[in-house]
Every structure is written in C-alpha cells, then in structure tokens.
Amino acid sequence: MDNNEAIRIVWDYMHMGHSLNKADAIMVLGSYDIRVAEYAAKLWLDGWAPCLIFSGSGTKYSDSAVWQRFVGSTEADVFADIARKAGVPDDAILIENKSQNTGQNYEFAMSLLKEREFRLERLIAVQKPCMEPRAYATCKIWLPENVELIVTSPNLSLEEYQNELLCISDHWVNNMVGDLQRIKEYPVKGFQIHQDIPDEVWGAFNFLVENGYSANLLKS
C-alpha cells in the first residue's frame, strides 16, 4: 500500500451513494470548501427543496487560498452569499452562524426550524465529499426518527478534488483521516450513531496516520 492507494480507499468509503429525492429543506454544513455552497445552490435551483439552511461559525482557513477573501465572515454567511449570487432568493435562505462543530450544526439548525414551526419530513444534508458518513451519523442523533435523511456532496472524483486550488495542501487529507477516526470514536460519546468500518478502510487509516496524516486526530 502507498499513500495514494490508502487515500483512495478512505475516499471511496466516505461516499454513501444516497439517491436524491424531493425534500422539505437542504441543510448545508459549513467548511473550507465553497464548492459545497455552489452545489447546494444548484440543488435549490433544480427544485430539490424550497429552503436552504446554512450552518457554521468558522471564520477562516489559513491554508486555503480561496477562503482568504472571506476572512472575518462566518461559513454560514459566506455560503449564503454564494447561494444568493447563484440566484437563490433571500426568502429561501435560513442562516445559523453560531455552531462550532458538526453536532451543533444540526442542534442549532433543528432549533431554528422548530422556532419557525417548520414542517420537516425529509432533509437533504450537504457536506464535502470526504465527510458524508460523519454528516449522516451526527445528523441521526439530532433528527427526529420520523424524518428521512439524504446525505450528498459535490460530484467530484478524487483527482478533481485534490487538484483544485483549495486542496493544494494536505489539509483535506488530514481532515478526512480525522473524520474517519471520529466515525469510530464518537458513537461511544453519544455524538454519532454507530457505522461499520471495514478492516481495509481502518487499515488505510492506520497507514495514513503512520505516514504523517495526523494533524486532525482527536487529542488523547
């Protein structure tokens, strides 16, 4: 095994393969990757749901050249502005810009919907391609049992993703490795539901950690 093979094994595991279906809302989890916002806006424009919820309080990513022009603005506000520029009207957008982690993304967004007495039967959650299972497992903690969840991400190949300008560093690989660790560790803390991790995937995780992709691991 080499780094490229290990990265691909984990990358493939991170794609859940959910099929899109019409929903009541599209929830967009903030991150360094503005393509998530662009994809979510396209989903709205294509009519998959009438409401876009942007969540996240992060303000900058020092190793992302693309994000530098947004320094000082929250993820949710930046993503919402991208959607507006794509043609999504203000009255279709809800902003939650206080959450500081994935659990709070959902907790605060669900509270916002509850305050507005929003009827939710199906939700589309949008995240980075390398974070689908974590987005799913966390959402299942906060989403009412009777609400159907679909997780999706920009349709990008591994090559397309890692060759883009905002992925020129190893930041995204470290994030993906850290997210995989959290898929394993967080269920016992009550932060996520359990998901099986095949031995091959966990072997790739260990290989990548041993080869230096450890910057986003949980602190012991």
Per-residue pLDDT of the chain (220 residues; tens, 9 = 90+): 899 999 999 999 999 999 999 999 999 998 888 899 999 999 999 999 999 999 988 765 544 555 555 666 788 999 999 999 999 999 999 999 999 889 999 999 999 988 888 989 999 999 999 999 999 999 999 998 899 999 999 999 998 887 764 554 678 899 899 999 999 999 999 999 999 999 999 999 999 999 999 998 998 7
Question: Angle between the 3-13 and 171-185 helix axes, to the nearest 10 degrees?
Answer: 50
- Rounded Cα–Cα distance for residues 141 and 124 (Å): 15
- Rounded Cα–Cα distance for residues 192 and 138 (Å): 4
Extract the tokens encoding 115: 């305050």
Extract the tokens encoding 209: 């950690």
pLDDT at res. 64: 54
Which amino acid does the sequence have at 179?
D
59: CB partners within 8 A, 6+ apart: 71, 72, 73, 74, 75
Could you tell me which of 56, 92, 87 has the C-alpha nearest to residue 74? 56
Asked if 123 and 27 touch (Cβ cutoff 8 Å), the reply is: yes
- Rounded Cα–Cα distance for residues 175 and 86 (Å): 28
- Rounded Cα–Cα distance for residues 54 and 126 (Å): 10
pLDDT at res. 62: 45
